[in-house]
Amino acid sequence: MTVSSLNNQVSYTGDGLNTTFAFTFKFFEATDLYVYVSGVLKILNIDYTIPGTPPMTGGSVVFTLPPANLTTILIVRILPLTQLTDYVEGDPFTAETHENALDRLTMIAQQLNAAIGAGSESGVVAHGALTGLAADDHLQYALLTGRTGGQTIYGGTVASNDLILSSTSFATKGKIYFGGNSVYDEVNYLLGIGTTTPMATLDLGSGGGFKQYVYNGGVGNRSGFGVDSMGNIYEFAINFAYGTTDQGRLTINSYDGTTFRNKITVLGNGNVGIATGTLAPGELLSLGKDGTTKGVLSLAGNTSGKIIIQPANIAGLWTFTLPITGGTNGYFLQTDGTGITTWAAVAAGVTDHGALTGLADDDHAAYLLASDATSRASFASNWTDLTDAGATTLHSHAAGNLSGVITSVGLATSIASQTGTGTKFVVDTSPTLVTPILGVAAMTSINKMAVTAPTTAATLAFGTDNATITFQGTDTYVGRATTDTLTNKRITARITTITSHATPTINTDNCDAVTITALAEAITSMTTNLSGTPTNFQKLIVRIKDDGTARAISWGASFIARGVALPTTTVISKLLTVGFIYNTVTSVWGCVASAQEA
């Protein structure tokens, strides 16, 4: 046959399903065909097969597994540059043998034509066709030689074919250089323009000392871009986070080569944080970080000046809530003590200290006193003694009692002691007294005093003298540190209940007996989870019952025999009771009794 086609290759795009790909050019042996998937050479009879018996004018490549979706499949014919036809004198001169030899030479000529750039084929030739190169274990090379005026590289021979650039046909990739200062790193998938050492998905290199980056992925599932002027990648960066927990978060960060510092965070829910030190601001606008950066808000006037709003250094934790209206002229803003504010009118008859005449100046900033004449006259006539700020005594009202809540806040001096009979000082009902002194130094009594037990533990102390305290009733009360004889009293044992455990947890400070109710595994150590600070001769009783299967018991170093051997197993569904006494000298529990239910 003739070689009428210039094609020696065909390419396809995988769909993840198809395994068979046809070609229409002649080949002599299955080894004349080279099959690539996305630039990676595949192995005959392992990755693919070629049905039929060569020589053939076409055929199919059948993959063992379908190439992945969108991968490029290239089938190319590459003949070794050899001549294997031998004409023996006197033998028949067959047309098919001679024609195959001519076809082979024509195909080799097509390869060489493509290799030197004169044709439009793949430019892939056998290594043996290249002169001046030492033999090695590569199968082939792609050779592109320079041409006057430049040249164009085509990826395919039909519409929609692709051009694939790869650093090597082997699985371990390298870099593809574009001129002397740009590169694509196939290993890390980084593209550098203006640099041959890209540090991000897109590295725009250095211009005037600045570098720009576009990156995707990395720590925290972030994509974004950064600017570097100091040689530290991402000196300034804007990140767009993605993922199930960070979806929609935008952050602006700085980087000094050691530490990332979050400057501004905008969450998907609209919350904005500035210098908060966190990627999750909890408010719509959050300023600063407690203990590190004070949150300061500056409001500038449109012509001049500015107002700065900031918290105290020790800011506390509270919410300031404004009223729902703008208030009324002359009203002031007051709080309910929790940060919720309302507008309130100034009380009638109250003036500033500066508006009162006849008062000497002192170190108090202001007083609020009755301002109308009637109130002042009543005030003066009804109080027996009210001196100025230097007074040390506040006496009672002439017509009654001094009543109300009196605290130490704002009082420069104390209230003088009162003697005699009658009502001297009245306070709120059921006041709270902090460390009060009841009575006088001499012996006295308080009648009908009731003591109510608090909700938490407390100590009630009665004097420091050696005295007898008599309570209502006829019973005797026992002190914590006294020596007493108890009669007709029952002590309820403190019990720790355990269903089953290989190393039971026992604290002898809060239990006197241990019951294991349904032991379902061997006890490997009674010592491992034993705790507490037992006293000398303290008693401990352990009662064990298995779950219907006899279980082994290992006591460990904290338990020893002291007259009675330590039992080593249970009896099926029977109670085993073991008694111990603690010895502080040897720090062990001694077994003094063991009883097995019959």
**Partners of 206 in beta bridges:** 211
Decide which of 425 and 208 is more confident: 208
Question: pLDDT (tens digit, 9 = 90+) per residue, 36-80?
Answer: 998 899 999 999 999 998 888 889 999 999 999 999 999 988 888
Question: pLDDT (tens digit, 9 = 90+) per residue, 132-144?
Answer: 444 333 333 444 5
Decide which of 413 and 183 is more confident: 183
Q: Which pTM value belongs to this model?
A: 0.35
Question: pLDDT (tens digit, 9 = 90+) per residue, 566-582?
Answer: 999 999 999 999 999 99
**Looking up tokens 């019952």, which residue turns up?**
545
Q: Does pLDDT of 418 surpass 90?
A: no
What are the extents of the domains in the chain? 1-85+92-158, 175-287, 495-596
User: Picking from 166-180, 365-379, 437-451, 482-496, which range would have the lowest pLDDT averaged per residue?
Assistant: 365-379
Q: Cα–Cα distance between 289 and 285 in angstroms, integer?
A: 13
Q: How confident is the model at residue 30 (pLDDT cuts 50, 70, 90)?
A: very high
> DSSP letter string over 391-460?
----PPBTTS---S---STT-SSPPPP--SSS------SSPPPSS---S-SS----TT---PPPSS----
> Where is 299: in which H helix or E strand?
strand 297-300
